[in-house]
A and B are shown apart, each in its own frame.
Chain A
């Protein structure tokens, strides 16, 4: 439990403790190449703005301190943890085909102090020259020079289960999951039935004379049961994987910095934090694709190539009144050619008419579906055609025939790819309820349907269309099928469509097809909001952004939601956020064949000492929720 908490606290610690650029020993050189996701914190700037004394006042820090100091050194602070704040802290996670790896690397300033913190760890003989090795249950602490790697390697349970089953059956055992009782009842009870309860429920005649009947020791105590065997397999695999990883990292000196020059380059950035996610390796290791891998190995390999070079890299910048997250999505030529065609689209100004300047949140999305389809067809079809497999050949034929027969002008004319969405807070919507009406003479009662109001989040989703006649055809047909569908002139209404209680409105005008539960938009603004629409400045930002633009006013979003929409824990987070919220804006660059840039800026107001403290407030809120 403690270990799990420690592991859970890795990211918390990572956000909080340390970092820093240092030219001597580099903690990042201990990041294994298996890491697929890395978040690296340069803490000099963060700590310049947040004092450690303030830091330790947070809820999550109390827990971290209790956990790390283990009670024996109560009264100490992170300052006394022996950690070198001049080095970076790198939090990493990776998932391979057979195991997962997680941990963090950091610098050491005072080893004695460090082991007062990590007092659960015991030193073992290190098989790797120049390193010290410490273990605590499943966690391993490896010290090399003045840097440390805290790492946990866990075999995938599928691998463990497969190997356990293999050994189990090879030993001549029966199916470990077979149970006559559960087979009889068809389902397995979640409740644990105690033997005492079975005894109490027995007829008197059935009860053994000696009272409680203990199970006989008929099983061979030297023979492991299934669970014991599985635990053994897990531990053996864990050691094997850790050994392989350590040999690569500590003997061959192969780390992520050497393995991926893009990561090495990203590390040179002077932002407060950097982010790295190798999506191509995520695709390779995606366990959900095992069928694809097994059935169509050639195709799988070719598709992997399409994903080659797909990596996300980002910088986190903390400013006095804003947090900025700059992200760059890089991809290979094949995928890049599809993205580039997809984003070669003219912005539809009609969209802007339907976004109210007071909306709590909105986004615009502008892609060219036709171009994207044609390019994807060019890139992917040759790969599919190369696969020598009857099932795939049939699929290829189907796609080719559809490509020939389907009216693409009509299809992509109906949905061109440009769309928008808005969230307009929570409003009272009209619904009905049943009231009981009492007769004064007898107090007999009867039911009467009356009008009522309930809170509902108001959403709008619309897309550009050149063929409004096609959705109109569908609507007319639906109206013939049910009276709940009605043409109201400027708009269509589908009664009780949302949660079987609220109406859904559809507007088909001005080259737009819009779904909304906003009665005001449907009834009063079916041609757009006019002067109430987005300001010219806001509209320009949306138009100038690449394929996507988004904005959220957190203050409105949070204040607008009624408390009973959330659980008690969620309300705790919201309370922590109240009065501290601002505007979050997402912009994107023009997409090239190589990359697309995303820029997420969180400008905030409220009572902050600085952005680092604000980030910690956020972190603390998240911690309180997950506690």
Chain B
């Protein structure tokens, strides 16, 4: 999320929210541990990004260089790796197509949320960000509840109104995978994979600004077979 947050900050002032694609993919094991994969795909705006990166500043704001972005990514990875309950953090950065992939293992969704909140707060100049009080993941062994972190919604809403048309072209995909079949889920926009082990919801940043609950979903799993 933090990576998204950072890039959103960069690209909101660049007017590049247009063709951003985000995949937020959580695989949850029966014991509550799991893996988060977070992918940001800006490949359809690479001409614009390259042209902007060629500038020193834009609209009075400094344009970060690729080494600076790499530095931020390394810093983020280091900070996230140090958090309790988080392991195997990897970040793949493709500065040719502008695709960034974060992956990490977590011992519980609580540990994941706390780790992300801590890192966001450490990286942010703002202190006591109220949006970080919000929990967007919960798991009780049979029910997984997901929403969108309020900080993401807040930042998405800050995108300028003239970029609305462009925002409609973006994609936000939320996938939740399990070790056992899904019995039912609340969100009617969600779809179930054929093997019944994964639930996916797709939307775009514009829809998200209009309805921040659009990705909210409670997913009920079938009982564990002994």
Contacts and interface: CB of A to CB of B under 8 A. Distances in A.
Interface of A: 191, 429, 431-434, 436, 438, 440-443, 445, 447, 452, 454-456, 498-502, 563-564, 567-569, 571
A501 B41 contact: no
A431 B46 CA distance: 9
Interface string B36-71: 000101011111101100100011000000000000
A486 B194 CA distance: 46
B160 A568 contact: yes
Interface of B: 15, 18-19, 21, 23, 39, 41, 43-48, 50-51, 54, 58-59, 96-97, 99, 125, 160, 162-163, 166, 173, 175, 177, 193-195, 197-198, 200
A201 B103 CA distance: 33
B162 A571 contact: yes
Nearest to B52: A499
Nearest to A197: B127
A567 B58 contact: yes
Contact of B197 (A429, A438, A442, A452): A442
Nearest to B94: A434
Given A502-B47, A564-B163, A436 B39 contact: yes
Nearest to B50: A499
Nearest to B160: A568
A426 to B, nearest CB: 11
Nearest to A569: B59
Contacts of A567: 15, 58-59
A500 B46 contact: yes
A434 B43 contact: yes
Contacts of A501: 46-47, 50
B48 A454 contact: yes
B198 A442 contact: yes
A434 B99 contact: yes
Given A433-B44, A440-B194, A452-B44, A563 B162 contact: yes
Contacts of A436: 21, 23, 39, 41, 173
Closest 9 CB pairs of A and B: A499-B50, A433-B44, A434-B43, A433-B43, A443-B198, A567-B59, A441-B194, A454-B47, A501-B47
A288 B194 CA distance: 70
A440 B44 CA distance: 24
A187 to B, nearest CB: 13
A454 B51 CA distance: 12
29 contacts: A432-B43, A433-B44, A433-B97, A434-B43, A436-B21, A436-B39, A436-B173, A441-B194, A441-B195, A442-B177, A443-B177, A443-B193, A443-B198, A443-B200, A452-B44, A455-B47, A456-B47, A499-B47, A499-B50, A499-B51, A500-B50, A500-B96, A501-B47, A502-B47, A563-B162, A564-B15, A564-B163, A567-B15, A568-B160
A606 to B, nearest CB: 24
B193 A442 contact: yes
Contact of B44 (A191, A429, A454): A454
Contacts of A452: 43-44
Nearest to B99: A434
Given A436-B41, A442-B197, 15 more contacts: A432-B43, A433-B19, A434-B99, A441-B195, A442-B177, A442-B193, A452-B44, A454-B44, A454-B45, A500-B50, A501-B46, A501-B47, A563-B162, A564-B166, A571-B162
A442 B200 CA distance: 10
Contacts of B44: 433, 452, 454
Contacts of B99: 434, 447
Contacts of B163: 564
A431 B47 contact: yes
A431 B44 CA distance: 8
Nearest to B163: A564
Nearest to A191: B125
A321 B177 CA distance: 68
Contacts of B41: 434, 436
A438 B162 contact: no
A442 B25 CA distance: 12
B146 to A, nearest CB: 14
Contacts of B177: 442-443
A568 B162 contact: yes
B10 to A, nearest CB: 15
Contacts of B96: 500
A287 B198 CA distance: 68
B209 to A, nearest CB: 17
A499 B15 contact: no
Contacts of B58: 567
Contacts of B46: 431, 433, 454, 499-501
A443 B25 CA distance: 10
A443 B47 contact: no
Contacts of A499: 46-47, 50-51, 54
Nearest to A457: B51
Nearest to B177: A443
A477 B99 CA distance: 33
Nearest to A499: B50
Contacts of A571: 162
Contacts of B39: 436
A326 B94 CA distance: 52
A574 B43 CA distance: 29
Contacts of A429: 47
A50 to B, nearest CB: 32
B193 A440 contact: yes
B204 to A, nearest CB: 15
A498 B43 CA distance: 15
Nearest to B101: A447
B23 to A, nearest CB: 6
A581 B198 CA distance: 56
A438 B166 contact: no
Contacts of A434: 41, 43, 97, 99
